[in-house]
Amino acid sequence: MRKAAFHNLGCKVNSYETEAMEQMLQKAGYEIVPFEPGADVYVINTCSVTNIADRKSRQMLHRAKKMNPAAVVVAAGCYVQAAGEELLEKDEAVDIVIGNDRKRELVEILERHFSHTGEKEAYLKDIGASREYEELHVDRIEEHTRAFIKIQDGCNQFCSYCIIPYTRGRIRSRRPGDVIKEVEKLAASGYREVVLTGIHLSSYGVDFREDKKSGLFELIGRLNEIQGLERIRLGSLEPRIITEESAAFLASIPKFCPHFHLSLQSGCDSVLKRMNRHYTTEEYYEKCEILRRYFHNPAITTDVIVGFPGETEEEFEATRQFLEKVHFYEMHVFKYSRRKGTVADRMEGQIPEPVKGERSDVLLELDRSMSQEYRTSFLGKELEILLEEEVMIEGGRYLVGHTKEYVRCAVDLEAGEKGTLVTGKGTAIMEDGTLLLKRQIG
C-alpha cells in the first residue's frame, strides 16, 4: 500500500479540494499519512494569490522532496496554473504538475506515472477557456462540526491587483442538486454547520442556462430544509449582492447565520477605482445599513489592503475614517503585495514597505478596538453556540464554540458534547478575546 501525504496552502476553496483529493486517494487504496518523511507521494495544493504565496509553494515542494528524494512530488493548484510547464522544467523537486480543473484526475495520473512512464509530466489546460465546473466531492471534513463546501469556482472581476482570474478561470457553478446531496450526507454524519465557499461566491448560478437558473439565495433556501443541519454560513461576498430583497429573504431563513464578510479592500473611492472595484464607499455603506435594518447586530467583517500603488496619506486617512464609520466586527488587514502579471504590478507610485507597515499597524489597532466593542455588546445576552472543541484558556479547560455571528465563546466542560448546541449568557471577555458564557440549565 502506497503512502500519500498532503499539504494545503491558501484559501478555504483550496482546503476543500485538498480534502477531496485525499479521499480520492484513500478510496483508491492509498494510506493517508502526515506530511512527514516516509511518504511515497507528496501532494502540495499550491496558492498564488501573492508573490509570497508563490515562494511558500516552492518551499513546500522542496521540503517534500528533501523528506523523501525517491517520492513522487505532485504540485497542484493555482501556482501551478500560473507557472505552467516552466515549473516542471526548472524545478527538480517536482515530478508532476496538475493545474486547476484537473485535480479530479489525480488517481489516474498517479497510476499512469507508476505503471508506465515514471517521467515528469504536466497536466494543464487553458483555464480561461473552461466553462465546466470540476466536480469534486467529500464524504467527511477533518473538523467534525463545521464543513466548508465549495460551490463555485472562477472570477470575472479582474481587480487590478489580483491574479486569480488567470489561475482559476471564468465563473463556474456547481449544480444545486450535487451540493444538496453532499450536504445531506454530511448532515447525516453529524455535521451541524456548513459554510458555502467559492472563488467569487456572489456569482453562484450566473453561468447556469436560463431554463435552469438557481442563484445563491435559492440554494440557501433549499439547504435550510435539510434535516440535521442547524446552520448555514457564507464565505466572502461582494457588496452588490446585498439588496433589500436579498436581506429580507436571508432574515427569513431560520438556519442562516448573520455573519457577512463583505469584501471592501479600500475605504477611499479613488483607490477603489484604481483597484477596478465595482462600487463606491457610499454604495458599500448603504449595503451595511441594509443588513443592520434586517438583522439585529449582525457581524460584518471585511478585507482591507493598505499601501496600494499611489495611495497617499490623504487616501489612507479616508480609508481609516470610513472603516471607523462602518464599524466592523473584524477586519483582515493586508499590506499590498506586488503580483507579477497584474495591472497593479506595473503601476507607478509603489509604496515603500515601512510605510505599508505603519499604515497596517494603524488599522490593526482600529480592528482590535472595534472587535472588542462588538464582542462586549453580547455581555448579558443569551447566546447559542455550537460546541467544537475542548481547549485550555487562562489555565482552565473549557469547551469552545461560536455563535451564529461567529463570536468565539467558552463554556464549562459539562455543557455538552462536541457538535451540540447549547445556550448561555455572556458574562465576561477573557484575555484572548473569547466570550465566557454561563450555561443555561433546564
pLDDT tens-place string over residues 289-318: 999 999 999 999 999 999 999 999 999 999
Q: Rounded to 5 degrees, what are φ and ψ at 219?
A: -65, -45
pLDDT given for residue 416 in this prediction: 86
Distance CA 184, CA 227 (A): 8
Task: For residue 117, name the pLDDT band (cuts at 50, 70, 90).
Answer: low
Long-range CB contacts (within 8 A, 24+) of 365-371: 366/320, 366/323, 366/324, 366/331, 367/328, 367/330, 367/331, 367/333, 370/323, 370/324, 370/327, 370/328, 370/329, 370/330, 370/331, 371/328, 371/329, 371/330, 371/433
Averaged confidence pLDDT in the chain: 93
Q: Is the pLDDT of residue 338 over 60?
A: yes
- Residue length, the chain? 442
- Could you give the domains of the chain? 3-125 (3.40.50.12160), 382-439 (2.40.50)
What is the percent of the chain where pLDDT is above 70? 98
- Average pLDDT of span 342-371: 97
* pLDDT tens for each residue of 48-79: 988 889 999 999 999 999 999 999 999 999 99
Least confident window among 86-100, 306-320, 327-341: 86-100
Residues with Cβ within 8 Å of residue 363, at least 6 apart in sequence: 304, 306, 319, 320, 323, 331, 333
d(CA 320, CA 199) in angstroms, rounded, equals 27
pLDDT number for residue 293: 98
Amino acid present at 58: R
Q: Pick from 285, 279, 275: which is nearest to 321 by CA?
A: 285
Sequence-ordered list of residues with C-beta below 8 angstroms from that of 352, at least 6 positions apart, any chain: none
Which residue's entry shows cell 516552492? 58
The DSSP symbol for 189 reads T
Q: How far apart are CA 97 and CA 122, in angstroms?
A: 5
Mean pLDDT value of segment 125-135:
83
Average pLDDT over residues 198-216: 85
Q: CA 98, 102, 108: angle at the middle one, nearest 5?
A: 85
Residue 435, pLDDT > 60, answer yes
Phi, psi of 340 (to 5 degrees): -55, 135
Helix (H, G, I), strand (E, B) or coil at 325: helix
Give the whole-angstrom CA distance, residue 122 versus residue 80.
9
Query: What are the pLDDT digits (tens) for 254-272?
Result: 999 999 999 999 999 999 9
Whole-angstrom CA distances from 165 to 25, 169, 341 are 28, 5, 11
**Grid cell listed for 226:** 435539510
Does the pTM of the predicted model rise above 0.75? yes
At 118, the pLDDT band (50, 70, 90 cuts) reads confident
pLDDT at 442 over 80: no
pLDDT at position 425 over 90: yes
Please determine, for residue 440, whether its predicted confidence score (pLDDT) is greater than 80.
Answer: no
Distance CA 78, CA 67 (A): 23
